[in-house]
Amino acid sequence: MEQIQNLLRDKAWARWTVLVLVASMMFFAYMFVDILSPLASLLNDTLSWDQGVFGTYAAGERWVCASQACCPPR
């Protein structure tokens, strides 16, 4: 008696859902950094951020993208 196992990767709706989730996460991470980049001087004055702190914040977007590329769902 053979049972047919349906994996999530075999379902088109699951692949499209994952694609939309990953793409939207990357898009919003990029937009968040892109929107706050012109405000670097304001953040420096208001929150006392120096260039190192702002660079660490801006590198956070790269971590989001890299974690998705290095650790794909199994």
Quick check: helix, strand or coil at residue 5? coil
pTM of the model: 0.54
46 in a structural domain: yes
> What's the pLDDT tens digit per position in 28-66?
878 877 777 787 788 788 888 888 887 887 777 777 666
Q: What's residue 72's pLDDT?
A: 56
What's the confidence (pLDDT) of residue 4?
Answer: 59
d(CA 8, CA 74): 10
Q: Give the structural domain span for 46.
A: 9-70
Q: Provide the domain count of the chain.
A: 1
**Is pLDDT above 50 for 1?**
no
